[in-house]
Chain A
Amino acid sequence: MPPKSEKVTLLQGSLDLLILRCLAAGPLHGYAIAKHLRLASDEFLQVEEGSLYPALHRLEGRGWIAARWGASEANRRAKYYSLTSAGKKQLEVEITAWEKMSQAIARVLNFRPAES
C-alpha cells in the first residue's frame, strides 16, 4: 500500500475509463465504485468523492451508464449505476485509446538517441 503522503493525480479522462470498467462486471452504487477502485489498485487510487459523483452524472447524461434506485446490502436506498450498450462500446474505445497512449509514452520514455 503506498504511503499516505503520495498523492496521485488521475490523468484527465481516465476516471471515465475506470468507472466504465468497474461497471462492466455489473451494477454498483457510487460508494462501491470508489471502494472497488481502491481495492483493485491496491489502495493506490483514492478517488475523491468530489470527482466521482459529477463524473457518474456526466456519464449518465451521455448515455453510457444508466441509473436506478434500489436496495443496498444493508437494505438502504441506493442509486445503482450500470453500463449501457453504448457504454460497452465506449469502454472498448477508451481501453484501445488508453493502450495506445501508454505504448506511445513507453516508447518516448525508452527512446535512446542513436549514438554517433
Chain B
Amino acid sequence: MPALIRSWLPFWHSAAVPCDDVAPQIDEELMFHFRALVEENLNRGLPSDDAWADAQRRFGSLDHYANQTWRVDMAHQLTVQRIVIFGLLALTLLCGWLWLQVHSLNGQNSQLLELVQNAAAQEKPATEMTPYPIEISPDEIREFSKISINFGKLQLNGNDISVVPISCKLGVTGLVLIGDGKFHYAPTADQMFDGQFRTILLRFNPQDLDALLKLEEGKKVTDKGTYEMAKQLLGSVFRHSYHSGMDALIPPQGALSAALNSKQHGDLLVSFGPKEAVVYSFTDRKQLYEQK
C-alpha cells in the first residue's frame, strides 16, 4: 500500500471508529510511567514506602493528568469527525446544486435545440450552401422618410428609418433598419404578432431585394454613427439565422428572416420560407409559433 495512503489511515480510522478505548489506554500509559518512577526510586535504594511516596509526589495526580490527556485526544477526535462530516455535507450540497443546474439547463435548451434541429431538417444541409463574407459601409446608408415593407406575411412600417445594406458577392442579402416603426406578422388568421420595433435585421435572397425595398428610393448618406450601430447589432444577432459564423448563407427565394427588438416582445425572431415558419422569443427563451 503506498506510504501516502498508509499515513492517512489513522486519520480516517479515528474519524470513523468510536474512541471508547481512549481513556483506559491513557490510564495504562500513565500507570506504566508511575510504575517506572517507583522502580527507579527502588533502584536508588529507597525503601518501598518512600519509593512510592516520592513517585506520587513527583508524578502528581494521576486522575488529573489522565483527564487532561483525554481532553487533548477528544478535541482531536471531534475536530477530525467535524472535518469529515462537514466535507461530506459540502460535497452533497455541491452535487445537488450541480444536478439542479444541469436539469434546469436541459429544460431550457431542449426547446431551442428542437427548433434548430427542425430548421436544419427543413433547410438544405450546410455543406450544400456556400458562405459569403459580408460587408457594410458607412457610405451606403439610405434614409427613408417613410418606409413600407410587405413581404410574405410580414409588414413593416415606419418614418425616418435608416437602412444599412448588407452586401456580399451575390448582392444585397440583408438590411439593418434603425428607427421607430411597427411590425405585423400574421402567419394564420388567428395568430398575430404585433408591436413596435427599434431595430431589425432582415436576411433574404439577393433576388428578393426589389420585392422588399427599392434602395434607390432612399436618400444615400454617409453616417458613421448609424454604421457603428449596425455593426454592433450584427455582432449580436447575425448568428440568429442563415449564417456560417459571420459569413452569410443565402436563403432560398421567398424566404425571410427578421431579428427584431420590440417593446412588446423583447428580442424576437420571425423566420419563414415557402413551406415553414417560426416565431421565437430570445427574451423568454421560448417558441411562440411554428409551422412545418
Contact = CB atoms under 8 A, between A and B. Distances in A.
A31 B69 contact: no
Contact of B72 (A35, A48, A61): A61
Contacts of A57: 26, 69, 72-73, 76
Interface of B: 7, 10-11, 25-26, 28-30, 32-33, 35-37, 39-40, 58-61, 64-65, 68-69, 71-73, 75-76
Nearest to B60: A50
A49 B72 contact: no
Interface of A: 29-31, 34-35, 48-50, 53-54, 57-58, 61, 63, 66, 72, 74, 76-79, 84-85
A72 B32 contact: yes
A76 B7 CA distance: 27
> What DSSP secondary structure best describes chain B's contact surface?
helix
Given A31-B37, A50-B60, A61 B73 contact: yes
Contacts, number: 64
Contacts of A49: 30, 33, 58-60, 65
A66 B9 CA distance: 12
13 contacts: A29-B29, A30-B33, A31-B36, A31-B37, A49-B59, A53-B26, A53-B29, A53-B68, A54-B69, A57-B73, A61-B75, A63-B11, A79-B29
A32 to B, nearest CB: 8
Nearest to B39: A74
B7 to A, nearest CB: 7
A48 B29 CA distance: 15
B32 A79 contact: yes
A50 B65 CA distance: 5
Contact of B7 (A31, A34, A54, A84): A84
Contact of B65 (A53, A76, A77): A53
B25 A79 contact: yes
Given A53-B29, A77-B32, 6 more contacts: A30-B29, A34-B33, A50-B60, A50-B65, A61-B75, A74-B39
B68 A50 contact: yes
A83 B171 CA distance: 83
A85 B6 CA distance: 13
Contacts of A77: 28, 32
Contacts of B36: 31
Contacts of A74: 39
A35 B33 CA distance: 11
A61 B83 CA distance: 14
A43 to B, nearest CB: 13
Contacts of B64: 50
Contacts of A85: 7
Contacts of B59: 49
